[in-house]
Amino acid sequence: METDYWKLIYKYIKNGWTQTIYVSHVSLVTSKALKIARGMKLNQKQVRFIEEASMLHDIGIIKVNAPEIGCDGKLDYICHGTQGRKILESEGLKKHALVCERHSGVGIPVTQIIERNLPLPKRDMLAESLEEKIISWSDLFYSKTPSILLKEKTISEAFKSIREYGQEYIDRFREWETMFSKFDPER
Q: What structural domains does the chain harbor? A: 5-183 (1.10.3210)
Q: To the nearest 10°, report the CA torsion of 163, 27, 47, 56.
A: 80
Q: Give the rounded percent of residues in the chain with a pLDDT score beyond 70.
A: 98
- Mean of pLDDT values over 32-61: 97
Mean pLDDT of 63-83: 96
- Give the tens place of pLDDT for each residue, 76-126: 999 999 999 999 999 999 999 999 999 999 999 999 999 999 999 999 999
